[in-house]
A and B are shown apart, each in its own frame.
Chain A
Amino acid sequence: MQPLEITAGTAISAMGRGVDATLDALRTRRSGLRPTDFGGIAEGHIGRVDGVEAHALPAALAKYDCRNNRLADMALNTDGFSSAVAEARAHYGADRVAVVLGTSTSGILSGEDAYRDRDPDTGRLPAGFDHEHTQDLFSLARYVRAVLDLRGPAFVVSTACASASKSFIDAHHLIEAGVCDAAVVGGADSLCRMTMRGFAALELISPSPCRPCDAARTGISIGEAAGFALLERSGARPAGSQSGIRASMLGHGASSDGHHMSSPHPRGEGAILAMRQALARAGLEPGAIDYINLHGTGTRANDAMEDVAVTELFGAATDCSSTKGWTGHTLGASGILETMIAALCITHGFKPGCLGVSQVDPAFRSKVLFDNLEGPVHRVMSNSFGFGGINCSLIFGPAA
């Protein structure tokens, strides 16, 4: 494929607000996880973003107010992202900039609160609960499109934990088909009781901060994140003002396991296919990848499957790690957060080793890093897998 440029990018997570804070946390190996203090739940650890409760949306868009859109709005106002989009809008026209965003749960926390506040006599939800502009999936894309004053096509893609990664692929299709010239991609997933209690019901929440790839790993920590990238054709307009991250998307692959709703294919056949396609589309051999940012959730099954899949294609030759020890698993937003991490690795020449690992699983055959490594990084593969058996693999390189 013709590479697409990421001409602006930002992310916020438990590591901090924006790419500089993210870089600092990665370099100093400072985790953002804390004991769970959210939604009346005390199990495990979470990657919570500070300041969401105090953040206000613009008054004209107050009907969209919910935790997820606040998190998204905070990200839009970080690293100059909104200004970068305004430059693209001025160049291409508002009709020609799409908004393609991923989320798994959108503003469902508002729905959870509304169910708690039902009228005890009638069972009705509170009059003030605006389902369409908060809990509904489309709310995120509508809000972002409205606040950025765009008029291109906008949709939400919701493929569980692969949502934000899938948004890059779906936006590539729109740009390549000529439906738009640029796209705001990424997404947001915010803390809510549904995912925290749901993953607890599946017995996948780690009592200690998650330790992806560790021999004694005991599950995930849930985090929240929002992030965005501005995607456009290479050289289509003069470079705008520097905003956050610059990089390019060289390839992508998506596949289905067709195996099980919540368990990955044990031999990672779907994951292998997604990675293989991403390499083929980028025109690269496995040896051209310098670092793989794993999905690496910290569950027994995911990490073991991903090790098998990575080893199948890369042997033990390619450095890989998961960064979820810093942020927790940010679910549908993990794809955009980890894209920003991939771009930071390329721009600043380092690879983050898994956090909190005392012993890499001895069954693993891939080359898992557990300390940071300094040195040039040209190309990074970033994996995301989700319930329903969906796999996405993206490849990033330096800005053209």
Chain B
Amino acid sequence: MMRVFVSGVSVWGPGLAGWEMARTVLRGAQPWTEEETMPPAPSILAANERRRTSPVVRLALAVAQEATAMSGHEPASLHSVFGSSNGDGVVVNDILQALAEPGRDVSPTQFHNSVHNAAAGYWTIGAGTRQPASCLGCHDATMGLSLLKAAAEVHVEQVSVLLCVYDRPLPEPMAEKRPTTSAFACALVLTPEQEPGSIASLAVRYRPDLADPALEAPRREALQALYVGNAAARALRLLESLATQRPDRIELSCLDQSIEIIVTPCSTAPAS
């Protein structure tokens, strides 16, 4: 069992525009409204780099930046684990279109932005960091496996790790093959020791049995469609637990097995 602490958290999705706003919704203090808003431009990047970023990179960087700021850790000090099922579907779609049409060239900028580690690359440029980045792609199991990988790195290296999981809908015609209903991203800063600002501890382990769907889905009924429609939104139940400061046990399905997360809030204040 690996135990890590959450010292920063962020989310961006429909009706969940950043942690401060999302927290009230996830706690049930405000109703959820399915309203998509564009994430803020990544101020961590210089203007020339910012112009080159696509919507999915801006989505990932928005939550990475917010969670890091909350944690109080220097962006350059963090190792990172980025997880995405779809990667940059818009860029890949443009390249596949170009390859299917005789005489069309592949854009060199799009080609280097098509790598799965593009968001991580822009993060490391913006943060000015030399720390390593891992980039996972695990279809519907991306959230659980990225968390497992990040927790292992925190545990073994005794370093703080930024975990950032994000997905945007693919464009047509690929969308028909891999439906994703809306943009969703979340980020956690995970530390090996409890810190003054720690929100909760997570005990993470790989379990040799299939997850209980009731322990994977968010508690709030209104969020079910969001959870089903985006691989990164498998984080919703964990985010609810962090927002309510409620102890919880979560099981994320991972092929025929599961990843168990036991959440223990650090604050003793009663949930409001």
Residues on A facing B (Cβ under 8 Å): 95, 104, 106, 108, 111-112, 115-116, 118, 123-125, 129, 131-132, 136-138, 141-142, 145, 151-160, 166, 169-170, 172-174, 176-177, 179-180, 193-194, 197-203, 254-262, 269-270, 273, 386-390
Contact = CB atoms under 8 A, between A and B. Distances in A.
28 contacts: A111-B92, A112-B96, A112-B99, A112-B100, A132-B178, A137-B116, A137-B138, A156-B137, A158-B116, A158-B136, A159-B117, A160-B116, A174-B149, A174-B152, A193-B99, A194-B95, A197-B98, A198-B95, A198-B108, A256-B121, A256-B130, A261-B112, A261-B113, A269-B130, A270-B130, A386-B115, A386-B117, A388-B118
B227 interface: no
Interface string B126-155: 011111111111110110011011011101
B206 interface: yes
Given A115-B100, A136-B178, A173 B130 contact: no
Contacts of B136: 155-158
Given A124-B173, A257-B130, A258-B124, A153 B106 contact: no
B122 interface: yes
Contacts of A202: 108, 111-112
Contacts of B177: 125, 129, 131-132
Contacts of B149: 155, 170, 173-174
Contact of B111 (A106, A137, A159, A198): A198
Contact of A137 (B125, B137, B156): B137
Given A151-B257, A256-B132, A115 B152 contact: no
A194 B106 contact: yes
B124 A389 contact: yes
B174 interface: yes
Contact of A387 (B121, B138, B172, B208): B121
Contacts of A104: 115-116
B130 A255 contact: yes
Interface string B187-222: 000000000000000000110100000000000000
B78 to A, nearest CB: 11
A389 B127 CA distance: 13
A259 B129 CA distance: 9
Contacts of A108: 92, 96
Contacts of B134: 157, 159, 166, 170
A240 B190 CA distance: 39
Given A194-B95, A257-B124, A261-B113, A95 B208 contact: yes
B157 interface: yes
B265 interface: no
A387 B112 contact: yes
Interface of B: 2, 52, 76, 85, 87, 92, 95-100, 105-108, 111-118, 120-122, 124-125, 127-139, 141-142, 145-146, 148-149, 151-153, 155-157, 172-174, 176-178, 205-206, 208, 254-257, 259
A393 to B, nearest CB: 11
B51 to A, nearest CB: 13
A193 B127 CA distance: 33
Contacts of A389: 121, 124-125
A205 B100 CA distance: 21
A131 B174 contact: yes
A260 B125 contact: yes
A256 B81 CA distance: 12
Contacts of B146: 155
Given A136-B178, A145-B255, A389-B125, A118 B117 contact: no
B133 A159 contact: yes
Most buried by B among A132, A157, A260: A157
Contacts of A180: 206
A176 B257 contact: no
B130 A156 contact: no
B3 to A, nearest CB: 11
Contacts of B85: 136, 138
A296 to B, nearest CB: 20
B100 A258 contact: no
A153 B99 contact: no
B117 A173 contact: no
Given A131-B174, A256-B130, A388 B121 contact: yes
A138 B138 contact: yes
A166 B82 CA distance: 13
A136 B137 contact: yes
6 smallest beta-carbon distances between A and B, as pairs? A388-B121, A137-B137, A198-B111, A254-B132, A158-B116, A256-B124
Contacts of B115: 104, 158-160, 386-388
Contacts of A159: 115-117, 120, 133-135
